[in-house]
Structure 1
């Protein structure tokens, strides 16, 4: 046994070393996208991140940041923490597999193992551990600063500890392993709640170990107990402790007049005292009543009995426990109660780390999400109330109408909540105020429209459900005076299996163990993000001929082909374990429930809607961990399978029955062991040969650099409005960790609708002063002014717009809005003056250097803002102004009133609905212009001639050429390119767009200046003489050319694929410069780009033409535009107009290669004629002359068959333009 233990331990650490080296070599050297920038920031300075928080992660990350030699190394240290924890997870997985296999192939009490047994055990461990180490999902989380690596380690540690207990359960003090498990669960709650899902597997191990005769009924009872434990921890202890603290806080603050958080401290001290008393009582065992009372009080005050919102449940449970302790229980089960008390105590120790959140929020850190600085805010924070509730067992469908009372008002139930009372002066005492909780509003729906197990539940996602499922069968249901079409239950189940289970779980599962098509996010298309096997007859039937894929997709680094070998090995291991006697089937159910609870159970709980913003495979890493156990066991299972095959053959030859051991079998056993182990090691090696290139993030600085590019696009002391994770968290990281441009204030529009975030905007942060605004602490307190209604109801109950023709100053309109009370309990307030203007003081604008002095007369007198013309407010939001937009208007109008001292910007990646109330003309906004990675709000109409020379194009040029960073791509060579996944590549393309836009603005300025120089006598535009010179015009073109050259040099096309629109716009810019300046090099560069673009997308066209009609319907909108709406044909027309001779040569070349361009045009034209697609008509009419010249006979025949062609196209174009 000593020899075995030595080998097992030594090889385990070798596997740990292999995993560690793998992750350290492939770590991202700085922050990653999505939540990583936020997590690293909160770890570095112990700031408060998004709900429900992760204080243990924060503390551990903070420890690792102390190894950083400079702030730029902080992210690397946190990423290294993830790598080490992930390697620790792999170590524990190795020992888990070897434990399980050893228990199946050796006898109890066996001291020495044969070399074949050791080889099979160790081979199984190596195979399972390395297969998981090099799997797609786990490796992704292992090299970035996120919570999932830590969570996976806690899961592995918990499962390994119960197996250690299984080995030592009969030894004295073996209960310490169970206490350790409880502690790990308590710690993991403060990392991620996923670890709780290990509990069913843990309870099954205990049941199978403690009961010699196990039955299916006993297993079910054990599972029910385990689910009960999860309920008591997740819905009892976690929120219940905070609930009791809230009662204590309310007593001490509102009744006793003590300062905020006094009640929390008092309660915590009392509970710690109870824990000490309980442990002491059970240790001494001197008084039975003392043990009873201490246990009862500890259990009650832990909050574990406070399940649900009603006080009835904790009262009943407490009474039942008291009855058991003092009535039923004659002899106290000391060990059970003592251990239970210890479990509660150690879980509390881990959970108590949430005090860090409370403490740091009271310190008012710059990042203080939800401001949980008191126990009531902390409760909302832990319960994730801002994300709303999702029905699981019973609820409405997307078609369910909200019930209304006799007045037409929505019927709803609201929970109340306590919030800090806003003080009129600092001398007022601390108090909590009770208000309606708008986050916990529950609307009432007709029961006739509800269903069990609601999956099609979200009314805001109706169109997404339809896109996902194609069609949805419904049945009419009467609801009072109306009839609604409710989806059938069978369609509800179809959606569950088709999307939630198949697409959002099994697809990810097969990514890891069969193969992955590419790293492009999938929304059901056949060419994005599917699983593949690498076996043509399996893949081609589902996804089209994979040999016809364009090179872009064939060579995508995320294309990983495993030939289903890990899957096959896992299935062999699963079946071998399940059929390996009584112990085998018991092990199987343990691993199965770990697999089920961390996979399919999460699918049931999340109840996801279609078109998620990112792939969600990281949520199921625990399930893939369980399957990796089966992969490891597959090595031994494969050996047994081979042995069985040899036995069958040799028995037939020797005339024996199939169950006898033959001589031939004995001879080949060693060879079969070697073969099985070799194959088991080959499988993970084949996996890593596929997955290394798309998990090696070394040399990639995308998140940090492009986050800094946003900030460098903003003038000193500026304000930048953002909206999503990837245009907010990288900026926070740059400021919080690396101290970059802390004078800029980042304002996230998604948060600006909340009172806590508005309060933070009124506080200074580093070098950024409080934001200018009229709003004060009272304005949005207690959920006031959540929505501004732009209408009132007339006597007949019809909506009538508020003062649509009266234009007032925005400051006046907003002040009026703030002065009005909100409707009780709704947060709705009338917005009386939606037609506004923001007055501009020209003298202040010039004095503050916003525009040159000679441009003073070109500054507009005001910026018009008419909310009734905002397409998003009028359609999407139902003529309702959100508090976020109201606050934004307040900030912008206050900024303008102060003379533009704090210039405002909008990140180029935020939806334009966040600034759509500004005047729009011909698809462009008059008062915004590109400044790089942000659009600057300007005091001049940038679409007019008078904007020439205002300096904004020069600012954008300087920002890009002097301040932009390139994410490591500036050092890329064709043979050495950092890996950029789709998210990072998307940011590269956003950066390219910002550069192309700046170049286009310079070209436009040159063209306008040339126009003025020639025609200003008739145009009569007052602009400085300096802009109507040949030197100014030439400078514009030269700077535009410089930007395009810089982009191609620093963000080379070979490093990250660009969208066709970026390449088309770049080529068009070169063509424009070439025609204006006569520079042949510009024409050459533009032609090269167009040939590259058209040649590349010719492959896509051939792939599209190879697809069946059904598969053609499973492509992206971009694909539809290119292939069905003649976008590709329009590209050719663009090239033809710019460089006719070169375009004709390419035209002939591609046609000879079998592209059949006329067929493509005719198909697209017929589709437009038959479907009346207005959006595509312009492309068809635009392209027709070129194709008619190239294919005169075909064009003539087409017009004869479809003599209404031009009439229909003209009508459609007019429809599109209107």
Structure 2
């Protein structure tokens, strides 16, 4: 049984197959690629690539440098498109290497060059299933680090198999050095690039283990090593806690393991080679120096501000998000496997949403069938793989185990994640396609003796990945989607000049950052002129704004640079508060000590507190009378961000317009002083619920806002987009409610019907619009405009056709209007939805009225 791939493939033919897969895949990715930003992290990554910013921890520095490099040489190509295309290139290469390493694994059991076609077929099928799987394709068409991660991991897997093929007694160590360099270069794209490192190590020492594993000496030595490592971990766990270095035991454990490895392989790998390995590790991670240097220059996006050693280490170790451990489970392992890993697995192939819409079959039924196919073929492939060559299977299984079960354990996701985390496991789904492809071939092989059945199986096996591609195309076609761009610019264009706006999270902050910082020809700017309400900037305010504009004019190339965005989540951190004060023109009259110690010292004015009694807070504007009082109840907990918001409002109210995005669920106690103007709520001195500026609201939703793609069925909207679009619908609903309150029925109906274009489950509002039409109908009846009245009445019935009160309502209208025939005709339209006996009785009564 072969221990290594066999050199039986024609190199030129194999290269043609690989190159063809690369170019076909890249073409599809280009055709479906987003032409602007997408929601979530894509907007931040494009913006940071454009301005050479520092993104959220741990920074992904090599990715940002690549994005910036591509943007510099892009010429007139928009930065969003070039950074998105970078993901497409990475992903296409990852697909190509999926093909290359698959054929290498397959050749380990082929017996002669005459069987070469089997490797080509299996490799191509695996590549196609990978390229057009749900999560992999998503990562390929937007600015995401997981495309680059896939490239590095698949390249390393291929190099591992190349080393197995070429190495004799640990020769070709240059390949090992290249792999070490790629591991740590990839670390600068995403830290999970190391997820397959244990598998690579196992494969490298596999020839040494094959025979020694059967000896008592091996197990005794392994036990000593294991006990030693446990002792190292426990000793330094205590030292780390005492010295406030929580990660110390991990580092010492890694150092101890490396020492064991060097000792055990001392006859195979020279000291010089180990020094080279260390050198390549340092060079690989050196991209992180960019974060340290760039942060000192204060770019427009400078998350964590890692400009000194403490902030830099906190940033790289992601301490902003808290300290977590894989040994303290954030959810049960069974939940993480079933509700996360396996649920995401079920999404990957044969898209249930698309197929359900095609065949009018419930999605759950389609999921059951597709899961049966994918799990069945993959499991058959794994069994066939093991049967054909246990060494090839062992190599590949070690990779799959590390990116699936081990990855679930290490990532330790909570049961309350803010978004779906399928991208963490995309490598596992990528690797499963190898067994999918082998299983597909196993079916052909099983029926090979019957020509008809063999032909049928070949047809099915080839058709399935094509069918998967077709089912996935629509939901991945983003070439005409500008919803995220419009979302950002609509928030910006809602507000007055020089406004401060508080945003909540990724999807109302990253699009706004992008719109401000990145030039995009598809973006438009709108400034509400001469409409500021009770805003009287002081001399200091104007100086701060002028300073901020000088900074932004240098840093940013987008729209509405006059607006300050204050993200509530980031306001929990001292570095972000300082950024707002120093670079965004926000007056913030609190000392540096209070800011710096906001998370550590109860003496800080920003340190979180629980109110011991009811409190009143007075807010005063610049002019006399522009003031209001905010009340806080006893027991209220005010976090750093709440205290920061209060301070910003105290210091800037009346000097600059202040808003909250409608997406902010927490408004630091100011909820009764907000006036809705569309996608934003303006802070005002008048108190009341459901306040809004009707004139500004109408201007924003009818004139200012852009809704590209929202009403276009060819533009796919996922659950996140549909949820965010509800905010537009709410604005139209509020407009409808105002028009209704002043008996403007036409506008009340118009804006409510427009709201239905944005709202999920709009059917729940049908009874409400039915009542509007009915009221409008009564209004026309009172003006003896019966034709219009019945036109509206028909609409009212259509929207709430199951309402059992319609027969009596229509009867009363017939009495009042004497429109008997029209009433009877309308009653007859209800026969499929109402009791025939009731309808016949009402019609009889109307006929009596006619007499």
Q: Within 1, Cα distance between the matches of 2:396 and 2:793?
A: 60
Q: Within 1, Cα distance between the matches of 2:613 and 2:270?
A: 66
Instruction: Find the partner of 2:420 among 612, 615, 636.
Output: 615
Task: Say whether 1:745 aligns with 2:684.
Answer: no
2:749–2:769 contact (8 Å) kept in structure 1 = no
Q: Within 2, Cα distance between the matches of 1:595 and 1:104?
A: 19
Which residue matches 1:564? 372
Q: Residues 601-750 of structure 1 correspond to what in structure 2 (within 5 A)?
A: 601-643=406-448, 646=449, 677-738=458-519, 739-750=558-569
Task: Say whether 1:309 aligns with 2:248.
Answer: yes
Q: Within 1, Cα distance between the matches of 2:19 and 2:187?
A: 28
Which residue matches 2:709? 968
CA 1:75–1:212 in structure 2 vs 1: closer, same or farther (change >3 Å)?
same
Any idea what SS the aligned residue of 1:106 has? coil
Give the structure-1-normalised TM-score: 0.57
Any idea what SS the aligned residue of 2:479 has? coil
Q: Within 2, Cα distance between the matches of 1:1076 and 1:753?
A: 54
Q: Residues 948-1097 of structure 1 correspond to what in structure 2 (within 5 A)?
A: 952-969=693-710, 972=712, 977-1004=714-741, 1006=742, 1043=751, 1047=754, 1052=757, 1058-1061=761-764
Q: Residues 235-384 of structure 1 correspond to what in structure 2 (within 5 A)?
A: 308-309=247-248, 313=252, 333=267, 335-384=269-318
Deviation at 1:505, TM superposition (A): 1.2
Deviation at 1:511, TM superposition (A): 2.2
Which residue matches 2:348? 512
Instruction: Find the partner of 2:69 among 57, 63, 67.
Output: 63
1:1071–1:1138 contact (8 Å) kept in structure 2 = no
Which residue matches 1:763? 582
Q: Within 1, Cα distance between the matches of 2:716 and 2:23?
A: 24
Any idea what SS the aligned residue of 1:564 has? helix
| Offset from partner CA, 1:604-635 (integer Å, 9 cap, x none) | 22333324322221111111111111112224
Any idea what SS the aligned residue of 1:65 has? helix
Higher relative contact order (CA 8 A, sep 6+): 2
CA 1:510–1:224 in structure 2 vs 1: closer, same or farther (change >3 Å)?
farther
Q: Residues 914-933 of structure 1 correspond to what in structure 2 (within 5 A)?
A: 914-918=667-671, 925=672, 927-933=673-679
1:97–1:128 contact (8 Å) kept in structure 2 = yes
Which residue matches 1:1027? none
Which residue matches 1:25? 31
Any idea what SS the aligned residue of 2:660 has? strand
Q: Within 2, Cα distance between the matches of 1:1139 and 1:337?
A: 98
Which residue matches 2:848? none
Which residue matches 1:74? 79
Q: Within 1, Cα distance between the matches of 2:9 and 2:261?
A: 50
2:675–2:682 contact (8 Å) kept in structure 1 = yes
Deviation at 1:517, TM superposition (A): 4.4
2:645–2:668 contact (8 Å) kept in structure 1 = no
Task: Say whether 1:754 aligns with 2:573.
Answer: yes
Structure with larger Rg: 1
Q: Where do 5+ consecutive residues of structure 2 fail to align? A: 1-6, 520-557, 815-822, 843-851
Give the RMSD, CA atoms, in angstroms.
4.6
Any idea what SS the aligned residue of 2:476 has? coil
2:807–2:827 contact (8 Å) kept in structure 1 = no
Task: Say whether 1:5 aligns with 2:3.
Answer: no
Any idea what SS the aligned residue of 2:629 has? strand
* Range with greater deviation from structure 2 (47-56 or 675-684): 675-684
Any idea what SS the aligned residue of 1:692 has? helix
Which residue matches 1:1101? none
Deviation at 1:760, TM superposition (A): 0.9
Give the structure-2-normalised TM-score: 0.80
Q: Within 1, Cα distance between the matches of 2:65 and 2:377?
A: 39
1:837–1:865 contact (8 Å) kept in structure 2 = yes
Any idea what SS the aligned residue of 2:105 has? helix
Q: Within 1, Cα distance between the matches of 2:507 and 2:216?
A: 50
Which residue matches 1:496? 333
CA 1:993–1:628 in structure 2 vs 1: closer, same or farther (change >3 Å)?
same
1:204–1:223 contact (8 Å) kept in structure 2 = no
Instruction: Find the partner of 2:684 among 938, 941, 945.
Output: 938
Instruction: Find the partner of 1:143 among 135, 141, 144.
Output: 141
| Offset from partner CA, 1:863-909 (integer Å, 9 cap, x none) | 221111xxxxx6xxx4321121111112122222xxx2311111112
Which residue matches 1:276? none
Which residue matches 1:48? 54
CA 1:928–1:827 in structure 2 vs 1: closer, same or farther (change >3 Å)?
closer
CA 1:204–1:773 in structure 2 vs 1: closer, same or farther (change >3 Å)?
closer
Deviation at 1:82, TM superposition (A): 0.8
Q: Residues 778-789 of structure 1 correspond to what in structure 2 (within 5 A)?
A: 778-783=593-598
CA 1:27–1:1094 in structure 2 vs 1: closer, same or farther (change >3 Å)?
farther
Q: Within 2, Cα distance between the matches of 1:751 and 1:1137?
A: 61
2:631–2:669 contact (8 Å) kept in structure 1 = no
Q: Within 1, Cα distance between the matches of 2:133 and 2:103?
A: 20
Any idea what SS the aligned residue of 1:502 has? helix
Q: Within 1, Cα distance between the matches of 2:805 and 2:76?
A: 49
1:123–1:635 contact (8 Å) kept in structure 2 = no
CA 1:968–1:516 in structure 2 vs 1: closer, same or farther (change >3 Å)?
closer
CA 1:1084–1:199 in structure 2 vs 1: closer, same or farther (change >3 Å)?
farther
CA 1:315–1:98 in structure 2 vs 1: closer, same or farther (change >3 Å)?
closer
Deviation at 1:599, TM superposition (A): 1.6
Any idea what SS the aligned residue of 1:955 has? helix
1:1067–1:1086 contact (8 Å) kept in structure 2 = no
Deviation at 1:674, TM superposition (A): 5.8
Count of residues in Structure 1 that have an aligned counterpart in Structure 2 = 772
Q: Within 1, Cα distance between the matches of 2:749 and 2:119?
A: 65
1:197–1:598 contact (8 Å) kept in structure 2 = yes
| Offset from partner CA, 1:551-576 (integer Å, 9 cap, x none) | xx799xx9897473333322221111
1:717–1:901 contact (8 Å) kept in structure 2 = no
Any idea what SS the aligned residue of 1:1060 has? helix
CA 1:631–1:1151 in structure 2 vs 1: closer, same or farther (change >3 Å)?
farther
| Offset from partner CA, 1:959-986 (integer Å, 9 cap, x none) | 222211113235x3xxx52111111122
Q: Within 2, Cα distance between the matches of 1:999 and 1:834?
A: 37
Q: Where do 5+ consecutive residues of structure 1 fail to align? A: 108-112, 248-305, 396-453, 457-494, 520-531, 537-545, 647-664, 788-819, 844-859, 869-873, 919-924, 1008-1033, 1099-1128, 1154-1185, 1191-1218
2:8–2:116 contact (8 Å) kept in structure 1 = no
Which residue matches 1:92? 97
Deviation at 1:203, TM superposition (A): 2.3
Any idea what SS the aligned residue of 2:678 has? coil
| Offset from partner CA, 1:281-309 (integer Å, 9 cap, x none) | xxxxxxxxxxxxxxxxxxxxxxxxx9943
Which residue matches 2:382? 574
Which residue matches 2:555? none
Any idea what SS the aligned residue of 2:127 has? helix
2:770–2:797 contact (8 Å) kept in structure 1 = no
| Offset from partner CA, 1:42-90 (integer Å, 9 cap, x none) | 111111111111001101112222354558x221211111111111111
